[in-house]
Amino acid sequence: MTSVRTVSSILLLLLVECAARPFYPLPSRRNDRSKQPLQTFRPYNIAHRGSCGEFPEETASAYKRAIEEDADFIETDILASKDGILICFHDLTLDATTDIAQHKKFESRKRTYEVQGKNITGYFTIDFTLEELKSLRVNQRSPFRDQQYNGKFSIIIFEDFISIALGAPRVVGIYPEIKNPVFINQHVKWPIGKKFEDKFVDTLKKYGYKGTYLSKQWLKQPAFIQSFAPTSLIYISHLTDLPKILLIDDATTPTQDTNQSYWEITSNSYFDFIKDYVVGIGPWKDSIVPASNNYLQTPTDLVTRSHAYNLQVHPFIFQNDNMSLHFNFSQDPYNEYEYWIKKIGVDGLFTDFTGSLHHYQEWTNPFSMGEESASKLLDKIAYMISKFRNSYN
């Protein structure tokens, strides 16, 4: 009998030991404390769906590439699978960015749903379990971008996305979106009556994301929560003090949950109301400065008024592809960055081309800090002075 107890206690101890956290830090994490912090002196470089100009959107590679290219934040859209797992995916349907059409066994899953007043037909993420979604491969959405990674990467989950950010060699923030919450809550149910927004915040809390904007905790693990649905943002403000951003669609689209028009939600009185819940807005850039014949017209006062209410402005989207650039910019994405950062004065930019924005910022407003760059700084000054001296001769 003693041997049975001994064996079982030994087994139990072994189990505990194997499950227990090691006492030593992982060799690759030894210098965790000296991670280069988030820059906060110039507008945020927000990697829209990762570096999706180069890699298929919202894949691990797209995010890792964005981090490599010095993004301040990696951005994503959170939806849910049939079995309630939070996934990183932009469209409600799988048609445009996956190889779903090649999976004959899922043919029957094609359905039509009403989304924000319109009937949409396709393969909806909410009709697939995570395992099924993982069997698909993600494709590059835009045909004029690099197609070589098509069929190579799979959809990732919210937790994977967070791990990628936390695993970066420097502090990288996350910028997840509570996407289509009305639709998700309609079709996906979680136990104990939890909603999409609850699961969303639960995940963030699980990984230690908390703190108000620019607080010490926040700077360790920066995060913005974004959504087009004001009620979702108001709802979660009771669950977390992380900073929130109200996304604003173009002038023709009302909010999906409160059916308010663009004009209403960009009015001064609305700003006065929503500023108690969000730290900023994320408008579509052509509503800030309308375009006509592919030329920018006079800017509206949206940014000025937002700033008056201490609301940041993070417009979307900045893309290098020439068909996305208005003619004022001579097909030069750097001219566009210059305009938005210097003339309009935005506080963050959602870009598909993290590397380009980073270059622009480094060349015009470089980030130098700490002892490492002291000698580089002196070199730079010497070089500048020597050129100045020689030009006198």
Interface with another protein by CB under 8 A: which residues? 37, 40-41, 51, 53-54, 144-146, 148, 219, 293-294, 320-323, 327, 330-335, 353, 355-356, 359, 363-364, 366-370, 373-374, 377, 380-381, 384-385, 387-388, 390-392
Rg (CA), the chain: 24
In angstroms, rounded to a whole number, what is the distance separating the alpha carbons of residues 356 and 347? 17
Q: Please report the DSSP string for 11-29 in residue order.
A: HHHHHHHHHSPPSSPPGGG
By the 8 A CB rule, do 130 and 83 touch? yes
Token digits for 181? Answer: 């919450």
By the 8 A CB rule, do 297 and 352 touch? no
By the 8 A CB rule, do 190 and 210 touch? no
Pick from 236, 168, 240: which is nearest to 208 by CA? 240
Q: Please report the DSSP string for 330-356 in residue order.
A: TT-HHHHHHIIIIII--SEEEES-HHH
Give every CB contact of residue 209 below 8 A, 6+ residues apart in sequence: 162, 174, 221, 223, 240, 242
In angstroms, rounded to a whole number, what is the distance separating the alpha carbons of residues 213 and 251? 29
Of 78 and 172, CB closest to another protein: 172
Residue 315: helix, strand or coil by DSSP? coil
Pick from 297, 294, 290: which is nearest to 327 by CA? 294
Of 271 and 318, CB closest to another protein: 318
